Structure 1
Amino acid sequence: MTEITVSAERLSHWFGQGETRKQALFDVSLALPRGSFTVLMGPSGSGKTTVLTLLGCLRAVQAGSVRLLGHELHGAPEPHLVALRRRLGFIFQMHNLHESLTAAQNVIMGLQVHPGVPDATARAAAAQVLGLVGLSDRIDYLPANLSGGQKQRVAVARALVGNPALVLADEPTAALDKDTAAGVVDLLKRMGAARGTTTLLVTHDNRILDRADRILTLEDGRIVKVEDRA
């Protein structure tokens, strides 16, 4: 039986209160098998980021069910959600690196959710994952001395350094050229295959669709198409 990393059943969500309350998601159901690479597409305002934040314990589930790593999120207390977030990796369109920290130091920040990791162990882990993203020779560089593609690879390394069960990526290739974008996506796929890491990537980027195992299309808060490519 296929192990499911995260699933949603009839997930709905609203923003606002009273007369301004507006429904953003309508009965969204999905399941992401362990190690899979899924792309979530749709126009701006369709609810893609809302789905991502609900699956990643960044918003409270209002209606429906989300099961993450075997745990129900609907109604879960905040300490429980915090513990689950520590098992996830997040990548965003903007790399959000600290300009005063080196590449290695930025990656080490991804381990701060795991208290008690010795400094030497953290440094070694950062060096290893930076090597995996092709930045072994840039470990001690500040972001100002890195290209846009290199900065995004540091952000990917930061997300992966804690060996997360699930990576949630919001438009991570939007600001990258075609070759760099393909490299970032291929890296996420390799890590998924090697470590069993599940990836959900939100994108408008048609250039990377051929890498996906599955493509989900969201329109007006509803999944309107599911395309399996694996």
Structure 2
Amino acid sequence: MDQFPITATRLNHWFGTGEARKQALFDIDLSIPRGSFTALVGPSGSGKTTLLTLLGCLRDVQEGSAQLLGHELNAASETDLILLRRRLGFIFQAHNLHESLTAIQNVTMGLQVHGRVDDQWSARAAAHSLALLGLSERLHYLPANLSGGQKQRVAIARALVGNPDVIMADEPTAALDRDSSANVVNILKRLGQARGTTTLMVTHDNRILDQADRILTLEDGRIVKEEVRGA
């Protein structure tokens, strides 16, 4: 297994073309250890989500090196990127649930992305993932009958159900109360300790920073501070 499943070296990124072209990331260097829980913080517009989507194979790498699970992302083929995405779990602030599917059906879809097709096994795994997030009484509820926080927990369960090697999360706890937020972070940390799952989370949620193994601070597209906890 890779000691550093997420790395970047002199990673730069721009938006726009011509005179409207603007640099969003400047010479990003980072190495995130396997099994760690890393928080990515900084003011709005500092480049956090841009960096997350580059490292998560959701944007093309323009300049510099970004490696995920030992694979170079710069100039990677679409086939390679698809295979890498199957090893990731994505959690975003927008839950993006299918309104016509129940909670357990939405989570089961997360397994289909990973190529799992055993219906009986998938249903058990989805139910277990939802139960971990306190939703065992809501398995067969449609999103319209769930609160905002419950919808977000379904989305988190969907990202976790396939036992991904890396979890990329963008403000996943913003809609959650204190107890639910703490439970999510505890689950992610337990996955890191038990399975070596690596989490990179963009957050403004100060409630969870004390639980992070490391905190990377971005300002104006640059990493200006790296704090390692427990070191």
Compute the displacement of 1:64 (Å).
0.8
Compute the displacement of 1:192 (Å).
2.1
- 1:214 maps to what in 2? 214
1:24-64 C-alpha deviation (Å, 9 max, x unpaired): 00000111111100000011110000000000001111111
Indicate yes or no: 2:158 matched with 1:158: yes
Q: Evaluate the alpha carbon distance shift between residue 53 and residue 2 of structure 1 in structure 2; reply closer, same or farther with a 3 A threshold.
A: closer
- 1:129 maps to what in 2? 129
Conservation of the 8 A alpha-carbon contact between 2:66 and 2:74: yes
Distance, in Å, in 2 between the alignment partners of 1:140 and 1:175 is 21
Q: Any residues of structure 2 matched to 1:27-46 within 5 Å, and which?
A: 27-46=27-46
Distance, in Å, in 1 between the alignment partners of 2:148 and 2:130 is 15
- 1:227 maps to what in 2? 227
Indicate yes or no: 2:158 matched with 1:140: no
- Compare 138-147 and 88-97 and name the one that shifted more: 138-147
Secondary structure (helix, strand or coil) at the match of 2:9 reads strand
Q: State the percentage of identical aligned residues.
A: 72
Compute the displacement of 1:2 (Å).
7.4
Residue correspondences, number: 230
Distance, in Å, in 2 between the alignment partners of 1:134 and 1:191 is 17
1:138-182 C-alpha deviation (Å, 9 max, x unpaired): 211222222332222211110011111100000111122222222
Amino acid at match of 2:229: R
Structure 2 residue runs of 5 or longer lacking an equivalent are none
Q: Any residues of structure 2 matched to 1:1-230 within 5 Å, and which?
A: 3-115=3-115, 117-230=117-230
Distance, in Å, in 2 between the alignment partners of 1:145 and 1:122 is 23
Distance, in Å, in 2 between the alignment partners of 1:201 and 1:55 is 12
Q: Which runs of 4+ in 1 moved over 3 A?
A: none
Distance, in Å, in 1 between the alignment partners of 2:31 and 2:225 is 14
Amino acid at match of 2:11: L
Structure 1 residue runs of 5 or longer lacking an equivalent are none
Compute the displacement of 1:75 (Å).
1.0
**TM-score with structure 2 length normalisation?**
0.95
Compute the displacement of 1:207 (Å).
1.5
What's the Cα RMSD here?
1.5
